[in-house]
């Protein structure tokens, strides 16, 4: 691309026009959703890291289109000794809380920007399930005696 300093005035004005036009193309719906995102600001949440997302595996889209039944998407979040595995199977989310430090009752909360929180108890093995989950941004909060973990937001 040409350095802006090498463009003459008319060329620079043409690029400016494209830049300004892009600004006008923003929908109010997206602007409002983006502004509202700020209400999710939490200062001291213990954020987990998204360690792996099978959707980003090399060639994931190509492979799955070759096999109609394609393997469900899996997401792996980690913080310290805690691992949270999520499998997206249609509108069901199947998950597992793995705690290297030992087992115990855990509550998993599904948060969506436009819906009330939903919570379930993980079973003795750490498994849990949410049904009827619509596509869109989501994150999970796992709480257990002594700790809680919040995942980053992801579009599911």
Partner 1 sequence: METTDPLATLVPAAREGDQSAWNAIVDRFLPLVGAIIRRHRLSEADGDDVSQTVWLRLVEHLGALREPDALPGWIRTTTRNECLRVLAARSRTRPVDPQDSGGLDAVAGDVADTELLAAERRQALREALAELPAGRRELLLLLLTDPPLAYDEISARLDIPIGSIGPTRARALEQLRRTRALRGLGPDPVGGVV
Find the binder of partner 1 among 65, 100, 116, 117 (CB under 8 A). 65
Q: What 3-state DSSP class applies to 54? A: helix
Residue 94 CB, nearest distance to partner 1 (Å)? 15
Phi and psi torsions of 122, nearest 5°: -75, 145
Query: Interface with partner 1 by CB under 8 A: which range of 30-38, 78-86, 119-127, 141-149?
Result: 30-38
Q: Does 5 bind partner 1 (CB under 8 A)?
A: yes
Q: Does 37 bind partner 1 (CB under 8 A)?
A: yes
Q: Does 31 bind partner 1 (CB under 8 A)?
A: yes
- Rank residues 66 and 102 by Cβ distance to partner 1 and give the closer one: 66
**Residues ≥6 apart with Cβ < 8 Å to 47:** 79, 150, 151, 152
For residues 36 and 29, give the distance between their C-alpha atoms in angstroms, rounded to a whole number: 11
Q: Does 100 bind partner 1 (CB under 8 A)?
A: no
Find the binder of partner 1 among 46, 64, 96, 98 (CB under 8 A). 64
Burial class (CB in 10 A: 0-12, 13-18, 19+), 30: exposed
Q: Does 92 bind partner 1 (CB under 8 A)?
A: no
Query: Interface with partner 1 by CB under 8 A: which range of 62-70, 101-109, 118-126, 141-149?
Result: 62-70
Which of 90, 84, 91 lies closest to 128 in space, CA to CA?
Answer: 84
């Amino acid at each position: 691309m040409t350095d802006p300093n090498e463009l003459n005035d008319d060329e620079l004005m043409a690029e400016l026009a494209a830049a300004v036009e892009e600004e006008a193309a923003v929908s109010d719906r997206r602007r409002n959703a983006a502004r509202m995102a700020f209400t999710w600001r939490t200062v001291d949440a213990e954020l987990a890291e998204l360690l792996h997302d099978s959707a980003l595996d090399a060639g994931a889209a190509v492979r799955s289109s070759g096999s109609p039944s394609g393997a469900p998407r899996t997401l792996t979040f980690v913080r310290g000794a805690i691992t949270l595995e999520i499998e997206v199977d249609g509108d069901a989310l199947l998950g597992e809380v793995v705690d290297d430090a030992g087992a115990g009752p855990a509550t998993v909360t599904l948060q969506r920007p436009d819906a009330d929180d939903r919570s379930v108890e993980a079973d003795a093995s750490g498994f849990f399930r949410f049904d009827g989950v619509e596509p869109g941004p989501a994150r999970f909060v796992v709480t257990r005696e002594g700790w809680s973990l919040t995942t980053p937001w992801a579009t599911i």
